[in-house]
Copies of this chain bind each other. A is one copy, B any other.
Amino acid sequence: MQIQKDKIVAFNESLLAEHKDSLSQLSKKHQNLDTIIDTIAAFNIAIPSWALGAGGTRFGRFGFGGEPENLEQKIEDVGVINALTKSANAISLHIPWDIPKDAEAIKSKADSLGIQFDAMNSNTFQDQENQEHSYKFGSLCHTDKAVRNQAVAHNIEVIDYGITLGSKSLTVWLADGSNFPGQLNFRRAFENTLASLKKIYAHLPADWKLFIEYKPYEPNFYSMVIQDWGTSHMLAKDLGEKAYTLVDLGHHLPNTNIEHIVATLMTRGMLGGFHFNDSKYGDDDLSVGVIKPYQLFLIFNELVYGMENNPAKNPIPAWMIDASHNLKDPLEDLIQSIEAIETAYAKALLIDQKALESAQMENDVVASQRILQDAFNTDVKAILAEARLRNGAAIDPIATYRNIDVRQELINERGMNNAATGL
């Protein structure tokens, strides 16, 4: 399905007066509001193809109606989100779940909805039917060269699919690791992984980037080959200029100061990608901003600062939502995540950086804290709404989605019992 723009416009009408009043109040206090609105309006986050169906846990999965069954339908779903928010103009594919059988048809489908192809994702953490070698004991790190070669070949194949579709980057997330002390020789696994990555890197087109994700645990519960940003960074430095570290918010040990990691990576121009989600315990993959919105704001503070103070020429990171939707309609969930990201971004843009620097230089801790909190405590709903409005999207995307009854229409089109590929 595709959302008709006039339905959005019609629903916006009912909200316009109140929005404009809020906006004018806010603009009285913030002189640079227009710039901030433009920045938010220009911001886009990629949607992963595997987040459009019902997520699950090892204990079970509860489906819902109208899940997308193929790549075309996934692109349509992203189109719905983008129509409502104008902040999701890209999809990130996972191979082999999203192998484009007819690349041209897929591309023109995406074009028609204004959707681009963001980073490609390889999958060497599951075995596919008829796969020659199993990844049960690892992929790029495996003790058996034949398995490593198979995993390298898969990644090269993913790059090739990406070239066809116009993607410009490959994200490698490895589940490789071990469940038991003794199972794995850490150093052999590291060297194998590096050697495998070098082969993949060698196949990377000149204008592509390689993003190396890290994760301390899960699905392996004793060790993960790329357990932290330090390991990812070490590998990226060894590979070359096209390799970067990718930060996924959920991939950290309890209490990690993630914003500090972001700052460190940007100092060296090494932050390549960013996966958004939220969590209380581990890699819970909850909607962005539902547990620790202040931490998200602090991270955006570093991102904003890093993009404005950029001697190391850190590229603009590839933004993606990476959550699991076990209970909510994924489209609503993704819209809530986009709003949470833009809320944090807008608040970070409100920070009075000059006053902050001055307070920091004087070690006026009370004032520094207050400057951040003043920005965080500002209600920025009107900023987001105005950014969307200027882009022709919905003042209130969730309310509009429900008003238009999108899910019911998807169920009508697709039925109740189909299940999307993914986790």
Residues of A within 8 A of B (CB): 25, 56-60, 62, 125-127, 134-137, 143, 175, 178-188, 190-191, 216-219, 221-223, 227-231, 233-234, 253-257, 259-260, 263-264, 266-268, 279-282, 284-287, 289-294, 298, 302, 305-306, 309, 324, 326-329, 332-333, 336, 343, 356-357, 359-363, 365-366, 368-373, 376-381, 398, 423
Smallest distance from the beta carbon of A107 to chain B beta carbons, Å?
Answer: 30
Instruction: Taking A181-B290, A290-B373 as given, write out 20 further A-B residue pairs in contact, using a Cβ cutoff of 8 Å, ordered by the A residue number.
Output: A59-B219, A60-B126, A60-B219, A179-B326, A181-B298, A181-B369, A182-B372, A183-B360, A183-B363, A186-B264, A186-B302, A187-B263, A221-B284, A230-B264, A254-B255, A289-B373, A290-B369, A332-B366, A370-B398, A379-B379
* A188 contact set on B, CB distance < 8 A: 360
- Per the bound structure, the CA–CA distance linking A254 and B415 in Å amounts to 43
- Per the bound structure, the CA–CA distance linking A227 and B328 in Å amounts to 23
Name the one of B56, B135, B257, B287 contacting A223, with C-beta atoms under 8 angstroms.
Answer: B257
Name the one of B266, B309, B336, B365 contacting A366, with C-beta atoms under 8 angstroms.
Answer: B336
- Assess whether A57 is in contact with B59, with CB atoms less than 8 Å apart: no
- Assess whether A222 is in contact with B286, with CB atoms less than 8 Å apart: yes
- Per the bound structure, the CA–CA distance linking A229 and B255 in Å amounts to 16
Given A256-B253, A257-B227, A56 and B59 touching (CB < 8 A)? no
Name the one of B136, B292, B324 contacting A327, with C-beta atoms under 8 angstroms.
Answer: B136
Smallest distance from the beta carbon of A129 to chain B beta carbons, Å?
Answer: 12
- Per the bound structure, the CA–CA distance linking A336 and B292 in Å amounts to 20
Instruction: List 9 A-B residue pairs with CB atoms under 8 Å apart, sorted by A's residue number.
Output: A57-B58, A60-B219, A180-B286, A183-B368, A184-B360, A186-B302, A217-B255, A229-B230, A290-B373
Given A187-B267, A264-B190, A267-B190, A57 and B361 touching (CB < 8 A)? no
The 5 closest A-B pairs by CB, nearest first: A230-B230, A221-B284, A186-B263, A182-B368, A57-B219
